[in-house]
Amino acid sequence: MEILTLVLANIRRKMGSFISIALLMAVISMAFTSILSVWNNIENGIDQAQQRGNVPQMTGMFEKEKLNDNLLSKLMSHDLVRDVKTVDTIVGQKVTCGDIEYSNTVFLQEVNTAYRLIDTRELRYCENVPSLKSGEIYISPGMKTNFSCEIGDMVTFDAGCEAYDFKIAGVLEDPALGASVIGWKNAFISHADYEAIYHDIESSAESENGRASIVTHLYVYKKDSCELSDNQFARQINLDTGIADMGTGSITKAVSKNYTGLFPKIICIILTVFVLFLLAAAIVVLCHSVSTGIEMEYTAFGIMKALGFTKEKIRLVIAAQYLAAQLLGISVGMIAAVLLCGKLGNLFFPITGVLPNHNISFVRCISVSGGVLLILVICILLITKKIAQISPVRAISSGRAEIYFDSRIHLPIRKRMLLAGLAFRQFTSNKRQYLGIIAVVSILVYFMTSMMMLTAMITTTSAWESMGVTYQDLRVDLKEELPDAKIQEIERTIGTFCGFENVYRSCGNNYFSIEGEQMMVCIFSTPEQIKAIIRGREPLYDNEIVLTEIAADLLDLKVGDKVTVGHLDKREEYLISGLNQYENDAGENFSMSMEAASKLTDVSVSYLGYILDERGKGEEIADTLNRKFGNLLTARFYETPMEETYQIAINAMTLIVYTFSVVFAAVVVHMVCSRAFVRERRDIGIYKALGFTVRSLRLQFAFRFLIMAFLGSVTGSVLAVLFSERMLSAILRLMGISSFMAAFGISTFAVPFAAISACFFLSSWIAARKIRQVEVKELVCD
């Protein structure tokens, strides 16, 4: 009972501190509950959609004539295969909506009745999927994102023989290829339209040159008893039947799920790391609060001891009052997360193309909260060990006296910058107490700077290139193989507008098997075009390839290993000459020269990529090339180096990090300020008696916190320079970037510093308003 009485009395007396701790925990709890729940909901949403859509464990794309009966019967009789289905689709390489041309493959097929129609305004499923009329089309959510289009807009599908216009009638969930990050896309038309186009293509000679063709989708389902993962299953099937080698590409259910949830996963991981940093900062603040609390209440604890309270009981009282604040904060945070979770989840819909659930993962979150509370309680119990050192006699006789010690880093107090000088003296006199705050600022600035590096990456072309991310201002797709003289003529035309650098002369991307695994191969006209080699060297000879670090890990290969690469019925042995970075297919790819690839298939330069000296002329150059060489090529100017959706998402994430950091910092400053105010109340009175105004004393307070913000920012920035690359590399590995190379600029460090400093200055200025309440006559009461 006595403990409860003391706990309640302490909470009442230190309501400000109680609320601050509760607020910090609420911020952390809200963040981790939202992140955990959003990620859980997205994962479950994808699983449920894949289950509803009966997505096969492996989907292969085959030119119709390559998928013969012999191959199919081999598959059907395989021990691991439960079922095999085939669906013919019409594939076209040019699909446009307004001014936007989709650069990847779109498969046109009849409506899949297993898929559900989505109301994209309300973000919910429609009751049924209305039959399409002639001239209408359902597109996937990812395609809607890629085209930035709306229902009612027109889509033109160029099948080679003829162009067909369709009116978008709705958005159909496609759990296999519906995410915006997956290049291949499905679109759905009516039976009558499908039959008509199919007939047109079959009767057109133009379909034979590859502009458009009929492609068969092969759906392979594994037996329930098969314990292999989807990727292992696909690999085993290919090793046993060679089926994937005969196709133009394949994707497994697991890979599809991985790509669909890739972007939210990266965002959630980054935010989780951020929340862990916030938690670390909260632990520092809590320890600081407990520690200074003990010093400030030295006399009270001494009296309690004199009254017969054991040190264990006193420690229990302290732990209980902080635990109460933490429990309140965590509960409030979880309730706030209920409101936030749905909105955050919906943000990812344009990228995943799958409607997420809106559930809160209470069990998971409560378990995590339990762990967090346990850590915090252990910290409190460790800090409160010094209660044992309090002697009742000493506490009562001199416990309240504030003793200052000399410091070597004292600067003389001068008339010039008097307030700043006094603020610095206050800081150096109590530096041990402020070390915790500097640690908190360091943590926040470290993460804010890391986010700046990430956002800087989006806008820095050299950073993109060095990390193997495709970057170009102008892309020229060739409709047919062109002689060098013609390419030179095209480049001369570009040169009449501005200087340029030819960064890609690519033969396109294909799917070859490597050690039995279907993987994207990126073919370049010369080895020098293969960028971002991080180990070894470029594949200079026709029997060499380079592999991404991620692909090498997946296949357990290293530089110097020999591998078998297959395509259709051909096989060749190649030597791995190096490891590189290339973000295609989330980093699961390998690259070779045109010379090396020609041993397996016929290749020719299919597109050229340019970086322009004057980006402002990009649009004009593209128009001119299309006008002048329209029958030979399609030129496109990239207005933004990265798709807008990702830019928005990364910017939103940066905003979240900044907002949380600033709120966190404001609460911490308020808390520390309040304690400093109580401790320094007498000094404030003296300063007032000497003639200092309230404004000057508030400024002095604010300057002191500005000093802390500065020192913390410097430490945080140094930490960021040392460790951010490694941290971001580990996270971005999921995206195919295994070695993040930070792009530094003045703003990388200046923006976090400015944000934290402004927050510290303003928060401490506001918190120091209580100085008004200090009356000089209080000094008499002493």
Q: Which residue is associated with the tokens 């001119």?
A: 624
The residue (of 407 and 488) whose beta carbon lies closer to other proteins is 407
Least distance from other proteins to the Cβ atom of residue 435, Å = 17
On the 0-12 / 13-18 / 19+ scale of CB atoms within 10 A, 690 is: exposed
Least distance from other proteins to the Cβ atom of residue 776, Å = 4
The residue (of 428 and 674) whose beta carbon lies closer to other proteins is 428
The residue (of 152 and 412) whose beta carbon lies closer to other proteins is 412
Name the nearest CA neighbour of 707 among 284, 412, 423. Answer: 423
The residue (of 142 and 685) whose beta carbon lies closer to other proteins is 685
Give me the phi and psi of 370, to 5 degrees please: -60, -45
Q: Which residues contact 622 (CB under 8 A, 6 or more apart)?
A: 474, 635, 636, 637
The residue (of 427 and 511) whose beta carbon lies closer to other proteins is 427
Number of residues lying near other proteins (CB under 8 A): 34
The residue (of 479 and 681) whose beta carbon lies closer to other proteins is 681
d(CA 390, CA 415): 41
The residue (of 431 and 535) whose beta carbon lies closer to other proteins is 431
The two beta strands, 94-97 and 58-63, are unpaired
What is residue 742's DSSP assignment? -
Which residue stretch of 83-91, 411-419, 497-505, 644-652 sits at the interface with other proteins (rule: CB under 8 A)? 411-419
Which residue stretch of 244-252, 268-276, 405-413, 730-738 sits at the interface with other proteins (rule: CB under 8 A)? 405-413
Q: Is residue 65 involved in binding other proteins (CB under 8 A)?
A: no
The token duo for 44 is: 């479950």
One residue of 426, 634, 654, 713 binding other proteins per CB under 8 A: 426
One residue of 217, 288, 425, 670 binding other proteins per CB under 8 A: 425
Contact 212, 131 (CB under 8 A): no
Least distance from other proteins to the Cβ atom of residue 347, Å = 50
Q: Is residue 416 involved in binding other proteins (CB under 8 A)?
A: yes
One residue of 114, 413, 652, 722 binding other proteins per CB under 8 A: 413
Residue 327: CB atoms within 10 Å: 15
d(CA 148, CA 641): 17
The residue (of 245 and 680) whose beta carbon lies closer to other proteins is 680
What is residue 357's DSSP assignment? P
Least distance from other proteins to the Cβ atom of residue 533, Å = 58
One residue of 121, 408, 414, 627 binding other proteins per CB under 8 A: 414
Q: Is residue 409 involved in binding other proteins (CB under 8 A)?
A: no
The residue (of 148 and 429) whose beta carbon lies closer to other proteins is 429
One residue of 1, 205, 403, 409 binding other proteins per CB under 8 A: 403
Question: Per-residue contact track with other proteins, 666 to 695, x per CB under 8 A?
Answer: ----------------xx-xxxxxxxxxx-
| The residue type at 290 | V
The residue (of 15 and 417) whose beta carbon lies closer to other proteins is 417
The residue (of 575 and 779) whose beta carbon lies closer to other proteins is 779
d(CA 323, CA 25): 11
d(CA 59, CA 74): 16
Least distance from other proteins to the Cβ atom of residue 678, Å = 15
Q: Is residue 776 involved in binding other proteins (CB under 8 A)?
A: yes
N residues, the chain: 782
Least distance from other proteins to the Cβ atom of residue 777, Å = 4
The token duo for 402 is: 């504030």
CA angle (285, 290, 296) in 5-degree steps: 120
One residue of 114, 418, 648, 655 binding other proteins per CB under 8 A: 418
d(CA 595, CA 604): 10
End-to-end distance of the chain based on CA atoms, in angstroms? 34
Contact 763, 673 (CB under 8 A): yes
Q: Which residue is associated with the tokens 């340019």?
A: 610
One residue of 234, 422, 633, 657 binding other proteins per CB under 8 A: 422
The residue (of 308 and 412) whose beta carbon lies closer to other proteins is 412
The token duo for 223 is: 């037996």
DSSP β-bridge partners for residue 118: 125, 171
Site residues for other proteins, 607-666, by CB under 8 A, read none
What is residue 508's DSSP assignment? E
Which residue stretch of 292-300, 355-363, 413-421, 434-442 sits at the interface with other proteins (rule: CB under 8 A)? 413-421
Question: Per-residue contact track with other proteins, 689 to 728, x per CB under 8 A?
Answer: xxxxxx----------------------------------
Least distance from other proteins to the Cβ atom of residue 680, Å = 10
The residue (of 12 and 777) whose beta carbon lies closer to other proteins is 777
**Buried b vs exposed e over 256-281: b needs ≥16 C-beta within 10 Å?**
bbbbbbbbbbbbbbbbbbbbebbbeb
One residue of 162, 367, 393, 404 binding other proteins per CB under 8 A: 404
Contact 329, 19 (CB under 8 A): no
Name the nearest CA neighbour of 629 among 741, 423, 485, 453. Answer: 485
The residue (of 429 and 459) whose beta carbon lies closer to other proteins is 429
The residue (of 296 and 714) whose beta carbon lies closer to other proteins is 296
Contact 397, 306 (CB under 8 A): no
Q: Is residue 773 involved in binding other proteins (CB under 8 A)?
A: no
Collect contacts of 205-210 with beta carbons under 8 A, ≥24 apart. 206/160, 206/161, 207/159, 207/160, 207/161, 209/160, 210/93
The DSSP-derived string for 10-70 is HHHHTHHHHHHHHHHHHHHHHHHHHHHHHHHHHHHHHHHHHHHTT--SEEEEEEGGGS-HH
Question: Per-residue contact track with other proteins, 429 to 468, x per CB under 8 A?
Answer: x---------------------------------------
One residue of 12, 121, 415, 627 binding other proteins per CB under 8 A: 415
Per CB under 8 A, residues contacting other proteins are 402-406, 412-416, 418, 422, 425-426, 428-429, 682-683, 685-694, 775-777, 779-780, 782
